Amino acid sequence: MDFQAGYLRSSIGRKTIVAITGIILFGFVFVHMLGNLQIFQEPDKINTYAEFLHNLGGLLWLARGILLVAFVLHVYYALKLSLENKKARPVGYVKESTIQATLSSRYMALTGSVLLAFVIYHLLHFTIGKIQPENFALQETIGDKQRHDVYSMVILGFKNVYVSISYIVAMTLLAFHLRHGVTSVFQTLGFNTPFWAPKTNAFAILYALTIFIGNVSMPVAILLNFVKVPGAQ
Q: What is the pLDDT of residue 137?
A: 94
10: nearest Cα among 181, 184, 186, 188:
188
Taking only the tens place, the pLDDT of each residue in 39-52 is: 999 999 999 999 99
Q: What is the pLDDT of residue 10?
A: 76
Q: What is the mean pLDDT of the chain?
A: 87
pTM of the model: 0.86
Taking only the tens place, the pLDDT of each residue in 76-123 is: 888 888 777 777 665 554 444 444 455 556 677 778 888 889 999 999
167: nearest Cα among 125, 129, 120, 216:
216
Helices 197-223 and 150-158 cross at an angle (nearest 10°) of 90
If DSSP states are collapsed to H, E and C, what string results for the chain? CCCCCCHHHCHHHHHHHHHHHHHHHHHHHHHHHHHHHHHHCCHHHHHHHHHHHHHCCHHHHHHHHHHHHHHHHHHHHHHHHHHHHHHHCCCCCCCCCCCCCCHHHHCHHHHHHHHHHHHHHHHHHHHCCCCCHHHHCCEEEECCEEEECHHHHHHHHHCCHHHHHHHHHHHHHHHHHHHHHHHHHHHHCCCCCCCCHHHHHHHHHHHHHHHHHHHHHHHHHHHCCCCCCCCCC
